[in-house]
Amino acid sequence: MVNDEKKAVDVFSVFPRFLDTPGLIEQDFRLLFGEVTANKSLEKWTTSLKAEVIKESHGLVPTTELLDLLRNAELAAEVENG
């Protein structure tokens, strides 16, 4: 699903537990791809997928870490979009 850009935006619909299980997505990336790649995973996503992840993230319980990540992701998206 994540290898097909058109289907990747449906991840949260198909797997809603990703939204209410803290750290689950980060844990999966670290297990699958290792520490270095997991730390850069958001940087490598296409702009459309980043926008969807940012949008979905606004529905999560706000924590300091989440708010920092959202702020950084939104700034990066603004830079990419000109």
Look-up: residue for tokens 């619909």? 13
Would you list the domain boundaries of the chain?
Answer: 5-80
- Pick the residue with more confidence: 1 or 62? 62
pLDDT (mean) for 41-68 = 79
pLDDT for res 45: 64
Q: What global pTM score does this model have? A: 0.41
12 Ramachandran zone, left/alpha/beta (phi>0; psi -120 to 50): alpha
What is d(CA 45, CA 73) in angstroms, rounded to the nearest whole number? 11
DSSP letter (8 states) at residue 1: -
